[in-house]
Amino acid sequence: MADKIRLLPDLVANQIAAGEVVNRPASVVKEMMENAIDAGAHTVKVNYRDGGKDLIQIVDDGCGMSPIDARMAFDRHATSKITSVDDIYSLNTFGFRGEALASIAAVAQVELRTRQEGDEVGTCTEINGGQFAGQSPVMCPVGSQFFVRNLFYNVPARRRFLDKSTTSAAQIKSEFQRVALCNPQVAFELYANDAPVYALAAASLAGRIVDVVGRHIKQNLLEVDADTSIARIGGYIGRPAAAKRRNGEQYLFVNGRYFKSSYLTSAILKAYEKLIPESSSPSYFLYLTIDPSRIDVNVHPQKTEVKFADEEAVWQIINAAVRETLAKTGAVPLMDFDREGAVEIPVLTKGAVYGEPRAMSNSDYNPFREEYIDPTAPDPNVDFAGFDVPFGDGGQTLSDSAGG
């Protein structure tokens, strides 16, 4: 009987991978923007046409690439981010699989213009449908310029099922906002069909939130800041009065990476319990900093799901930090606002034994003892005769007036 199992060609494998990594134009924008951040860019510009199906252009002023790197960057599993499997559990970069550029190039016509600082000329590399089309010297500024044209042109079945241009435009804008909120130190620009949409200068975190979301949120931001041995949490939450029924102003980041978690979101909503209507949702922009070895971002190809080694503890930290911030506004009671010598937020751990403070009482306390009596107070055994307070010009007192 003939053998039936065979290896897929690289081109087919890359096209299949593209269905998971870059399943829509917004995914291309996300991957390319994150590559620009990893390259140390201070300015990133994004332009798209026809919802990203016709063109996606990403320009950055990062470190650029050599001619050899520019060619190898489109090979599957080629990356500069990691060298061993252990590096996956101590990541300080966005990308690490080496799949994004190979997947994009497999389903589009890609042109890369790049130059490193110190090189006299740059390099222009062209890849069409996963096939190397050529490489030549070119004049260009330091950094990288990616042109992704005709996305899924060689996979017509996939191209037919792409979202409408308006829907794709909204998805691209959403991905742009997430990356911009995560990197306030970087300037970003977004163009739709060559028309400007965003022009974000480098700013503080609060300034970036206002620039991205809108000025209406400025007066509703409450700062969150908590530091524990497990995680540090910072950022901003919205005032309870500003909660909305439909709210898209909800962002969670861990180690500079956007992620989704219904479990950790419940920690935030629990802190707002009974402060907002059940049908409303608060705004939040929370940034977690955790030891990279305590999280796993290699869960989903799009890297929006993250596994936490201390998930229950992180839930408690987020809930306590949000409650503390709300308490400072008077929304929930809190006795002591003094940050001097603040006690670390406790974390409940299964099997651990915790010591509770002993209750203190004064058995000698008696409120009816003579030393508690005010000597200036009136004698309760004498009938009240009015107040001896002078009034008027005649020198009379209130008691004289009462006596008639």
pLDDT tens per residue, range 239-265: 998 999 888 899 999 998 899 999 999
Amino acid at 128: N
Alpha helices by DSSP H, listed for 22-130, are 25-38, 67-72, 100-106
**What is the model's pTM?**
0.74
CATH of domain 10-202: 3.30.565.10
Is domain 213-327 annotated with CATH 3.90.45.10?
Answer: no
What is the per-residue pLDDT across 277-299, written as a single tens digit (0 to 9) for each? 988 999 999 999 999 888 887 65
Residue 217 confidence (pLDDT): 93
Count of H helices and E strands in the chain?
10, 15
Residue 390 confidence (pLDDT): 58
Domain with CATH 3.30.565.10 in the chain: 10-202
CB under 8 Å, gap of 24 or more: what pairs does 243-246 form?
A: 243/272, 243/276, 243/277, 243/280, 243/281, 243/282, 243/283, 244/280, 244/281, 244/283, 245/279, 245/280, 245/281, 246/281
* Residue reference for tokens 């107040």: 387
Low-confidence ranges of the chain (pLDDT < 70): 1-4, 6, 8-21, 76-98, 298-303, 330-361, 367, 370-374, 380, 384-404
DSSP string, 95-112: --SS-HHHHHHHTSEEEE
Domain with CATH 3.30.230.10 in the chain: 213-327
Residue 11 confidence (pLDDT): 62
